């Protein structure tokens, strides 16, 4: 038994080192390519290193997300961090409760941020786009867009809360809930600490 535990310990240690090693390997490749004047290779290696970093940041953010949203417990197996295509940051995903009930998704460096920020900051656009299904709210001091997205099979509404940060977007989706419930859930997420990591 002891041997198995030690073996597992070494394997997991190796895995985490490997992940970190990827970043270090990429940086080493970038440095040698740059010194040799191979600019395109240095460029590519730096992009790979950035992607590795995005994944590491993603995993740190997952550690900050709460284990429970109201009464909904986390589905640890569904946790994932994926690097986005085109070297544009990473997507962090966590779900809570039964399948499809609630999820928190953070897209790091999404180009859609610009549009959403304009929407939130422009009084005119915000006014024009506001209907009975969307409104601008504040969560822990951050402006956010709350949208009602239809009903579930029990007749309760599905909500989506989009909170833009400087260069990332967090979307909290809860199906079959009320406005107050989703806002209360969002308030349990440590937005300021997450913002520090992803910006």
Partner 1 sequence: MKKPILLLLVLGAVCAYQPSHAQLLKKIKDKVNKTVNSSTTTTTTDSNTTDAGTATDASGKPVNKGGGGLKNTPPPDVNQQMTDAEQAHAAANYSDARYSIQQALIGVEIQLGRELLKSLPDPVLGLPKDTTQDKVMSTQWGWNNMTIQRVYTDKKDKQLTVTIGNNALYSGLVNVYFNNAYMVQADDKDQNMKQTKVKGNKAIIQYDDSKGYTLMVPLGQSSLIVWECINFADETEVMNTANAFDIEGIKKMLGEQ
- Residues interacting with partner 1, by CB under 8 A? 23-24, 27, 30-31, 34, 39-40, 42-44, 46-47, 49-50, 53-54, 56-57, 60, 86-88, 109, 111, 196-199
In angstroms and rounded to an integer, the radius of gyration of the C-alpha atoms of the chain is 20
Identity of the residue, 11 or 39, whose beta carbon is nearer to partner 1 in the bound complex: 39
Q: How far is the CB of 23 from partner 1 (least distance, A)?
A: 6
Q: For residue 154, what are its two tokens?
A: 């029990």
Identity of the residue, 84 or 158, whose beta carbon is nearer to partner 1 in the bound complex: 84
Identity of the residue, 95 or 109, whose beta carbon is nearer to partner 1 in the bound complex: 109
Q: How far is the CB of 26 from partner 1 (least distance, A)?
A: 10
Cβ neighbors of 95 (< 8 A, separation 6 or more) are 74, 75, 78, 101, 102, 103, 104
Q: How far is the CB of 111 from partner 1 (least distance, A)?
A: 6
Q: How far is the CB of 55 from partner 1 (least distance, A)?
A: 10
Identity of the residue, 62 or 146, whose beta carbon is nearer to partner 1 in the bound complex: 62
Residue 110: count other Cβ atoms within 10 Å of its Cβ. 18
Q: How far is the CB of 188 from partner 1 (least distance, A)?
A: 23
Q: How far is the CB of 163 from partner 1 (least distance, A)?
A: 18
Which phi-psi region, left, alpha or beta, contains residue 176 (left: φ > 0; alpha: ψ -120 to 50)? left
Identity of the residue, 137 or 197, whose beta carbon is nearer to partner 1 in the bound complex: 197
Q: Is 52 exposed, middle or buried (0-12, 13-18, 19+ CB in 10 A)?
A: buried
Identity of the residue, 7 or 19, whose beta carbon is nearer to partner 1 in the bound complex: 19
């Amino acid at each position: 038994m002891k041997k198995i535990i030690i073996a597992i310990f070494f394997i997991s240690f190796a895995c985490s080192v490997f992940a970190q090693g990827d970043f270090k390997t990429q940086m080493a490749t970038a440095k040698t390519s740059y010194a040799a004047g191979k600019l395109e290779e240095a460029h590519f290696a730096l992009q790979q290193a950035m992607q590795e970093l995005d994944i590491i940041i993603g995993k740190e953010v997952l550690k900050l997300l709460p284990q429970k949203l109201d009464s909904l417990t986390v589905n640890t197996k569904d946790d994932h961090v994926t690097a986005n295509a085109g070297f544009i940051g990473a997507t962090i995903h966590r779900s809570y409760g039964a399948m499809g009930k609630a999820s928190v998704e953070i897209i790091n460096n999404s180009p859609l941020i610009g549009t959403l920020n304009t929407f939130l900051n422009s009084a005119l656009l915000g006014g024009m786009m506001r209907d009975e299904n969307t409104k601008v709210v504040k969560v822990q001091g951050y402006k956010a867009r709350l949208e009602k997205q239809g009903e579930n099979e029990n007749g309760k509404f599905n909500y989506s809360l989009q909170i833009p940060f400087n260069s990332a977007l967090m979307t909290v989706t809860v199906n079959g809930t009320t406005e107050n419930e989703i806002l209360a859930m969002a308030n349990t997420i440590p937005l300021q600490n997450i913002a520090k990591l992803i910006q």
